[in-house]
Amino acid sequence: MKLEDKISKAEVSYIYSMNFNSRKKLFTLNLAKSPEPATGAKKKLTFKDVSNFLIDEETVSQLDQILGIGEYREEEKVKYVFLTEQRTFMFWTDKEPLISDVV
């Protein structure tokens, strides 16, 4: 299933956190219907077996179309994705991806 299909099926509008579990090879997007997750319906999307998960321009474009967020930029071996005004999520594209939330 495409990322776009998963998100639209979830009927959510905001990403409020992400997680990458390198041991289990799981990538999780935590989504909500409102900017305040405590007040709105929540949905968790998990992508399995993502040892080679790379976020690419197309994925960011999909996120931007669905949620109205996302800016893609590449510098050396790091791909930056700006998902909200407050946070920058960085996806390293080396052997094993790491996801960092910089406030």
Reported as a pLDDT band with limits 50, 70 and 90, residue 85 is very low
pTM above 0.85, yes or no: no
Q: Are 7 and 31 in contact (CB under 8 A)?
A: yes
Total domains present in the chain: 1
SS (H, E, C) 83-101: CCCCCEEEEECCCCCCEEE
Determine the pLDDT at residue 93.
Answer: 44
The share of the chain scoring above pLDDT 90, in percent, equals 0
Distance of CA 14 to the CA centre of its chain: 10
Reported as a pLDDT band with limits 50, 70 and 90, residue 28 is confident
The share of the chain scoring above pLDDT 70, in percent, equals 1
Note down the domain range covering 34: 3-102
